[in-house]
Amino acid sequence: MKRNFLIFVLSILTLPALQRYAVADGIPLQDQCELITTLPERAAEMMVTVDGFVNGLSDFDLQSKTLTIGTVTREEYLEFLKGRAMEYTYEDVEKLKRVAASITKKLDDAGLHPAFPPIIEVIKTDMKEESGASAYTRLNYIAMSADMFGMSDKDFEDVFIHELFHVLSRNNQQLQGKIYNSLGFKKSNEVPYPDGIQRISNPDAPFNNYYITVESADGPVDAMLVLYSLKDYEGGSFFRYAKLGLMVVEGDDNNKTPVVKDGKPVILQLDEVSNFFEQVGRNTGYIIHPEEASADHFRMLVNKESAPDQWIIDKLKTIIQESGS
């Protein structure tokens, strides 16, 4: 009896150590969706999947996302990704459970039932692949930085809601189009970045196929939000190189091409045009792409936050509800 009791006591004392690394079988998120805490081996398999994001990476991307000066191949980039995923701790999993329960209640209270895919995998990463960003998405997974798991539940939840929208949007192209349209953006062909600027790719929005009509000094123009660098990669975070502008395009919706003047693409700054914020709103400063603006609006909607241009939030709610998502 004494021996058995001693074994029992030792098992209790060592339980935290045994649970230092943990996974969850499936964390429920509202209706038919489950969050899976993904082991590093499985995470590496997903992260090296070649998709539209990987295929669209520029030379600048390949260098900056591996923190390498000089030529980097896609194969070398994918190899770099293999070492980014990390193990979950017991505390990490418990945080994700609390956040999922909180988001579920908020969605239910708001009368929202987004059509998330049945399974969303959640990866914990050192985030070196995205210069220390808080989070990003690809395919049907959300990558959260290790630092985020040390943040408050509220801060973690705000970021997670934003990322959930990206998964929803990626899996519902019709819904995505309606939401982008509500901000004034219209669908076109994919428009490659022209010579003169270097593409900085965003895994949440890897495509360049939506434009908005704004008023410039020369009259109305069609333009695309672009994130770019004017310099070659010289080391450090890609955030220090990033510039945002409106690249002017011409042609019909199936044949948009950049307008080039004196051998350079015409890129307007947001303060050089009018009728941009009247369409996109002033609710968020995260307007590098209609996808990111929409994700922030989704966060505001779920959190029932008030906003300067509340009509955008109200319209987003109507679109989601009417779409059956």
The whole-number pLDDT of residue 23 equals: 67
CA distance 290 to 293: 5
Residue with tokens 């923190």: 67
DSSP H stretches of helix in the chain: 2-18, 40-47, 52-55, 59-64, 74-81, 90-110, 153-170, 173-182, 277-280, 290-303, 310-322
- Residue 51 phi/psi, 5-degree rounding, is -130, -170
- Torsion angle in degrees (nearest 10) through CA of 176, 178, 180, 183: -150
The whole-number pLDDT of residue 180 equals: 99
Contact between residue 208 and residue 224 where contact means Cβ atoms under 8 Å apart = yes
CA distance 119 to 108: 19
**pTM, whole model, 2 decimals?**
0.92
pLDDT in tens, the chain (325 residues): 433 433 333 343 444 444 456 666 799 999 899 999 999 999 999 999 999 999 999 999 999 999 999 999 999 999 999 999 999 999 999 999 999 999 999 999 999 999 999 999 999 999 999 999 999 999 999 999 999 999 999 999 999 999 999 999 999 999 999 999 999 999 999 999 999 999 999 999 999 999 999 999 999 999 999 999 999 999 999 999 999 999 999 999 999 999 999 999 999 999 999 999 999 999 999 999 999 999 999 999 999 999 999 999 999 999 999 987 5
CA distance 294 to 180: 7
Amino acid type, 154:
K
Residue with tokens 């209790």: 12
Q: Residue 312 to residues 100, 180, 207, 223, 298: CA-CA distances in angstroms?
A: 25, 11, 23, 21, 10
The whole-number pLDDT of residue 22 equals: 63
Q: Residue 96 to residues 16, 150, 153: CA-CA distances in angstroms?
A: 18, 12, 9
- Residue 156 phi/psi, 5-degree rounding, is -60, -45
The whole-number pLDDT of residue 36 equals: 98
Q: Report DSSP state, residue 29.
A: E
Calculate helix-pair angle for 173-182, 153-170, nearest 10 degrees: 110
pLDDT tens digits, one per residue of 156-192: 999 999 999 999 999 999 999 999 999 999 999 999 9
Contact between residue 144 and residue 124 where contact means Cβ atoms under 8 Å apart = yes
CA distance 225 to 186: 12
Domain layout of the chain by residue ranges: 19-171, 175-322
Q: Residue 235 to residues 67, 136, 221: CA-CA distances in angstroms?
A: 6, 22, 36
Residue with tokens 């990704």: 81
The whole-number pLDDT of residue 25 equals: 72
